[in-house]
Structure 1
């Protein structure tokens, strides 16, 4: 079962003054509960994050307006060939999400000579997406729809990005407190994430109609996120599942009004030398009998991916490396790790490199 943790002691400092004894006690209790939940499962639901239900509902209203546009209109902000820059609109089936172990297996089986990308795409991902980053990111500049296509889109989602950046900082602060990091280590962890190299993703999983029961596709295959952690708002239709690291069985992340979902990513697993485990998760598709009987409704979600500075070398924090628990990972630059993970994400990028 996924626990729900209230972080209002961090989000509403006007009501929970951290300078007071009670405020400090409330913050420490919330932070420890958050860390304990993440340590146990790699997933947690968070309330008291600072966003009202009205703000979240407004965001989903914009999502529906975006994805209801004709394809030719959405394609006025196309995602470029290849995985980087990861910005703009990707149509159904264009991006492929996968687990790194699947790629390594295919590369070994083909001796590096086979078309790994085609093999991965034998089952396509039935989704469309729109990627947004910081307006201050010179390395990956945003690709926006023209104002005459969806007036106010850029203004709204630029502001939402900044709002979620504040929420992410608050949660990262709580994680540092809950881990008991000393002042220097806590400040270093916050500084690694201070340049806003995060990503806001808008996702639409179209409805699966009854007559599609014999088709073979996925919504989002099982995978790990390769950043620090991910925040997710999902609509009421659900479908998100995570693997319990103890039982190795997938469990439902049932939508809860007012709660966001946090899942641990690869970088936080490395930072903590496996104290936190990167959470394997997927968006499932029911079996053909269910689809044939009643179909599957559309699903919308808003993930916000938090990661360190691309050029930073990631290594385990000193407090997690001991004689009894030596470092499990070699240091790695975040951008190089990301390039390895996303190598086959966009097939047209691979073809462009070959030409």
Structure 2
């Protein structure tokens, strides 16, 4: 584990008002450049001054714990459907498998059905020891939300719908800051903002149950294996138990994203990497299971997290911005791709039992 830390950037200049416009503009440019530099050098960053109060974050985790404290049979009244779409509702422990685009057979040399089946089986050997609940926009006509009945958890739908909208607003603030930090012109900034569709992002609620010390010795047990996110970016809130590790793209060492009150963690996704021609690198990250020798006799405590996955409309074609392409020093590395098609390649192996 590397000794240096995940950088922290304050975006308060983008979320608070100041009567001195010139001072505010200078503060915004300074904060935006810090954000871009952190994303460029590491692919991830902690952000404070993001627009949500700590009370709001604490309230969100209270709801998440109430959800996962329900009996299994109650949670299964909003079951995730078989297959990868729609990606909504409750998924029990071990149902979802997570990996990166580079792990998939479509991106290898052998594309035969036999090879695809073999790779699929290998990807599923490791058990992702978590349960989750997926929420989207109520305006998403392609993936309809699957809600628990009110008699199971009254107020849950109303609260999560509101939280989704709040996080969509946080996303717009962060993208605005990235645009300022990159010095994008109006047309380029508009292209950047198209990488976020408020109707097609995804709010996920995750619970990693407590693990007994004796269960930690198996190599096929993982809280969340190393992977990249295939959207534009992800913003994440984690509880005080932490556990998230992010890999520095240059040193290739993992850094612990230690929980820090008042901050969220931002990691770059595959679409923003393609959009910037590798100026930003999609951040490899994981939630690992520590060596059993490092865990107290009481076991590994439960962990809760709230990621918000940001992406464009499925029909949107993501192409590299021309300012990041120079024929000699930085030729184009990626062909334009429709976000929905890219996501389908990743997600087709994602759920247990689906080939």
Q: TM class by shorter-chain length?
A: over 0.9
1:270-311 deviation line (CA, Å, top 9, x unaligned):
110000000000001011333474410000000001111110
SS in 1 for 2:190: helix
Aligned to 1:87: 88
CA distance in 2, matches of 1:90, 1:337: 23
Runs of at least 4 residues off by over 4 Å = 105-111
Matched, 1:179 2:182: yes
Residue ranges of structure 1 left out of the alignment (5+ in a row): 351-355
Structure 1 residue 111, shift from structure 2 partner: 4.2
Aligned ranges 1:51-70 → 2 under 5 Å = 51-70=52-71
Q: Distance in 2 between matches of 1:162 and 1:45?
A: 21
Correspondences of 1:231-270 after superposition (within 5 Å): 231-270=235-274
1:112-161 residue CA offsets vs partner (Å, 9 max, x unmatched)? 31343332121110000000000000000100000000000000000000
Query: Across the two proteins, how many residue pairs are aligned to each other?
Result: 347
Deviations 1:178-205, CA, capped at 9 Å, x for gaps: 1100011112322442443110000000
CA distance, structure 2, for counterparts of residue 57 and residue 195 of structure 1: 23
TM-score, normalised on structure 2? 0.94
What residue in structure 2 maps to residue 344 of structure 1?
349
Q: 2:321 & 2:111 partners in 1: Cα distance? A: 37
- 1:153 has 2:156 as partner: yes
Once structures 1 and 2 are overlaid, which stretch shifts more, 139-148 or 96-105? 96-105
Residue pairs, 1:54-133, within 5 angstroms: 54-104=55-105, 111-113=112-114, 114-133=117-136
Shift of residue 211 of structure 1?
3.3
* Secondary structure, counterpart of 2:104 in structure 1: helix
Distance 1:298-1:6 versus aligned 2 partners, 3 A rule: same
Q: Distance in 1 between matches of 2:32 and 2:296?
A: 45
CA deviations 1:205-256 (Å, max 9, x no partner) are 0001123234440000000001111000000101100111111111111110
Q: Is the 8 A contact 2:206 2:306 kept in 1?
A: yes
Cα distance change of structure 1 residues 9 and 106 upon mapping to structure 2, 3 Å threshold: closer
User: Residues 103 and 298 from structure 1, CA distance in 2 versus in 1: closer, same or farther, beyond 3 angstroms?
Assistant: same
Superposed counterparts of 1:169-318, under 5 Å: 169-215=172-218, 216-291=220-295, 293-318=297-322
- The Cα of 1:108 is off from its aligned counterpart by 5.8
Deviation at 1:325, TM superposition (A): 1.1
- Residues 9, 27 of structure 1: 8 Å contact kept: yes
> In the aligned structure 2, how far is the partner of 1:226 from the partner of 1:156?
27
Aligned residues of 2:7 and 2:38 also touching (Cα < 8 A): yes
* TM-score where L is the length of structure 1: 0.94
Q: Is the 8 A contact 1:207 1:295 kept in 2?
A: yes
CA distance 1:121–1:320, shift in 2 (3 Å): same
Measure, in 1, the Cα distance between the counterparts of 2:325 and 2:18: 34
Judge conservation of contact 1:89–1:131 (CA < 8 Å) in 2. yes
- Report the equivalent of 1:141: 144
Gaps of 5+ in 2: none
8 Å CA contact 2:197–2:311 kept in 1: the answer is no
Partner of 2:18: 16
Output the CA distance in 2 between the equivalents of 1:325 and 1:106: 22
Residue 20 of structure 1 and its aligned partner are, at CA, apart by 1.5
| Residues 126 and 219 in structure 1, CA contact (< 8 A), matched pair in contact too | yes
Could you report, residue by residue, the CA deviation over 1:305-349 in whole angstroms, capped at 9, with x for unpaired residues?
Answer: 111111011110111111221110011100000011112001333
